[in-house]
Amino acid sequence: MQEVTPQSYTLVITGAPYASQAPQTALEFARAARASGHRIKRVFLYGDGVQLASALTAPPSDESHWPRVWAEFLTSEGIPGIVCIASALRRGLVDENERKRHELTASNLRPPFIIAGLGEWVEAQRGDSRVLYFHGAR
């Protein structure tokens, strides 16, 4: 394989699993990038993309389980998976802290995803990593 200069990437996923191809395309990109020696600095879920971090997704057994597959990839590669708090709360995705704060009956954030603010995305924008967006269908 040709020598490449390692790049650092931030992936922003705004398309939901099972409604769009976005999480799947992003995962294929991330795997290819890692295989070529590039770095994935972080994955940021925004808008409908936050559905990827649900611990309650239960697709039919003959379909890919995108939240689980993504979570396993993030864990094995040690990549931070960050879920935008405003997008998450609107769509019913909460961790234990948010469950308590909003007095909800349950939490459903799948590890290793964590909830944080848009500041994490801003950090990526101003940093040296290339930011790639994976959008859903309109």
Partner 1 sequence: MSRTLIIVDTPPYGSWGGREALDMVFSLAAFDQEVSLLFLDAGVHWLRKGQAPEDIRQKSAERNLLAAPVFGVEALLADDGACQTYGLSEDRLLDGVTRVTADAALLAGFDHIAFAS
What residue has token string 């349950």?
106
Among the listed ranges 33-41, 58-66, 96-104, 117-125, the one in contact with partner 1 (CB under 8 A) is 117-125
Q: Minimum distance between the CB of residue 118 and partner 1, rounded to whole angstroms? A: 4
Choose among 120, 134, 130, 129: nearest CA to 28. Answer: 134
Please pick, among 11, 82, 84, 93, the residue that the annotation labels catalytic: 84
Q: Residue 117 in contact with residue 3, Cβ under 8 Å?
A: no
Choose among 79, 100, 12: nearest CA to 52. Answer: 12
Q: Minimum distance between the CB of residue 31 and partner 1, rounded to whole angstroms? A: 23
Q: How many residues belong to the chain?
A: 138
Site string for partner 1, 73-102 (x = CB under 8 A): -------------xx--x------------
Any catalytic annotation for residue 84? yes
Phi, psi of 88, deg, nearest 5: -70, -45
Task: List residues binding partner 1 (CB under 8 A).
Answer: 12, 14, 46-47, 86-87, 90, 117-119, 121-122, 125-126, 131, 133, 135-136, 138
